[in-house]
Amino acid sequence: MKNLIKENIENPEQLEKLYRSDRKGFAKAFSEIYPEISEHPASAFWKARLEPDTVKADWLITVKKDLLFLLVTCALAGFFIKFPAIFRTEADMDAFYIKNAGLVVIGALTLYYLLTVKGFKVVHLIFTTLIFFVSAIYINLLPGDVHLNTVLLACLHLPVILWFIYGLVYSGFNLREKSGWINYIRYNGELAVMFGIIAIAGGILTAVTIGLFDVININAERFYSDYVVIIGAVSAPVAATFLIRYFPAITSKIPPVIASIFSPLVLLTLIIYLLVILLSGKSLYTNRDFLLVFNVMLLGVTAIIVFSVSETTFFFKQRLLEVILLALVIFAIITDLLALSAIIYRLGEYGFTPNRTAVLGSNLLILGNLVLFARDLYRVNFKKDSAGILENTIAKYLPVYAIWAVIVVFIFPVIFGLR
């Protein structure tokens, strides 16, 4: 019981199942290992549930302290994203946002996590700080023209590196512990859902606010967009993380439902899209824009597969959903092979460029991931293997994406130059 609690401390649904299976045993085991897991926000919730009279006050103090850290982190994120405007520099704000938005958002999430979770080693803190500091210096030393291929690619891939570093922090710098990385993927799914809800609410508030000021003949749209919307956008992920931590019973139930609904819908959409390509006569080989949209769609489908797999391995054991995921992966592989053939054709016709090389590498990485998923899902569906093998694949493959992002960000400008 003790090991099961430790392994699933970030999985509220599984903890609830363990508790209901053996309430007394769960309470005893939890009490004995509480000092080891006290840094996890969920542990405070369970201690409060099991010992309400003695822990409620401590839990409220923790929430208030984390709320203070939330406000401090959001303030810092707002300061850095509006740095040129505050100090009235001549920086191109659009270029500044493209270069720094991902850095500020992921930096804020990492800072909030470090402030609210105890037990990090000094060497890990120093390493994390150096990575973000070097990244900020490097990306802002690149030419201001973000339309240069290597510069734009660096801006797009740097957040992937930082996302992986945030995952290291989230998992306690334990690359070999698969449960930490799977929890990180699930957290990202919950974060995306909560961010979407906050964004919708923020959009409604923005429309109402601008409309109210417009009624009294005050044009607040420019100021509101430049400051409130921008600062709110970089702060919303941190606020969403706070909600995920302290309201897990609500936030953890939405992503699995989305995964179970969207997986068959995405499969149907992908099948129809491939049929339309065959019937419409559109050519991936000659239409550059069509190929670009095709690759963006492929990235989105792959992300949905990873998210659905991470949710399915824990929340859903239905045979139907596992079959749907296998079919989705197979059609995604077909899509990737079509895209790769078009990329190789364009490389043969027009030669290597930063963009074509980046797209080729990304598609090869995605293809490798999809093939591994197909193998695992085949074993789950027809060999009756445990769905846990999918978790191993996800955990082991994430560093591969990070390594490729490092190559694009730091090596491409050397190979292709700043063009």
Is residue 54's pLDDT more than 50?
A: no
Look-up of token digits 């270029």: 95
Instruction: Report how far residue 35's alpha carbon sits from residue 180's, in angstroms, rounded to the nearest whole number.
Output: 19
Instruction: Report how far residue 331's alpha carbon sits from residue 264's, in angstroms, rounded to the nearest whole number.
Output: 12
Q: What residues contact 298, with CB distance under 8 A and at least 6 apart? A: 332, 335, 336, 339, 363, 366
Amino acid at 183: N
- SS3 string of 270-332? HHHHHHHHHHHCCCCCCCHHHHHHHHHHHHHHHHHHHHHHHHHHHHCCCHHHHHHHHHHHHHH
My answer on whether 263 and 237 are in the same domain is: no
Task: Residue 176: give the domain boundaries.
Answer: 73-250
* Residue 17 domain flag: no
Reported as a single tens digit per residue, the pLDDT across 356-406 is: 899 899 999 999 988 998 998 888 878 777 667 777 888 888 899 999 999
Structural domain count of the chain:
2
My answer on whether 212 and 297 are in the same domain is: no
**What is the overall mean pLDDT for the chain?**
83
Mean pLDDT over 155-181 rounds to 88
My answer on whether 239 and 381 are in the same domain is: no
My answer on whether 224 and 373 are in the same domain is: no
My answer on whether 279 and 231 are in the same domain is: no
Burial class (CB in 10 A: 0-12, 13-18, 19+), 352: exposed
Reported as a single tens digit per residue, the pLDDT across 224-245 is: 888 889 999 999 999 999 988 8
* Residue 235 domain flag: yes
My answer on whether 77 and 223 are in the same domain is: yes
Is residue 296's pLDDT more than 50?
A: yes
Instruction: Report how far residue 146's alpha carbon sits from residue 153's, in angstroms, rounded to the nearest whole number.
Output: 9
My answer on whether 308 and 169 are in the same domain is: no
Instruction: Report how far residue 131's alpha carbon sits from residue 162's, in angstroms, rounded to the nearest whole number.
Output: 8
What's the pTM?
0.81
Is residue 158's pLDDT more than 70?
A: yes
Is residue 413's pLDDT more than 80?
A: yes
Is residue 9's pLDDT more than 50?
A: yes
**Band of residue 154 on the pLDDT scale cut at 50, 70, 90:** very high
Which of these, 133, 135, 106, lies nearest to 237 by C-alpha position? 106
Is residue 90's pLDDT more than 70?
A: no
* Residue 339 domain flag: yes
Ranges of H-type helices in 82-217: 83-86, 93-116, 122-141, 149-170, 178-215
Contact 166, 131 (CB under 8 A): no
My answer on whether 98 and 244 are in the same domain is: yes
Look at residue 215 in the predicted model and tell me its pLDDT. Answer: 84
Q: Which two tokens stand for residue 119?
A: 């037990």
My answer on whether 209 and 285 are in the same domain is: no
My answer on whether 195 and 141 are in the same domain is: yes
My answer on whether 223 and 296 are in the same domain is: no
* Domain end (from 250, 273, 301): 250
Contact 376, 326 (CB under 8 A): no
Mean pLDDT over 402-415 rounds to 94
* Residue 418 domain flag: no
Is residue 112's pLDDT more than 90?
A: yes
Look at residue 53 in the predicted model and tell me its pLDDT. Answer: 44
Contact 37, 5 (CB under 8 A): yes
My answer on whether 125 and 237 are in the same domain is: yes
Instruction: Report how far residue 106's alpha carbon sits from residue 237's, in angstroms, rounded to the nearest whole number.
Output: 9
The percentage of residues in the chain with a pLDDT greater than 90, rounded to a whole number, is 25
Q: Which two tokens stand for residue 258?
A: 């989305």
* Residue 14 domain flag: no
Q: Which two tokens stand for residue 409?
A: 């960000």
* Residue 90 domain flag: yes
* Residue 3 domain flag: no
Is the CA virtual torsion 166, 170, 176, 182 positive or negative? Answer: negative
* Residue 151 domain flag: yes
Contact 108, 237 (CB under 8 A): yes
Contact 175, 399 (CB under 8 A): yes
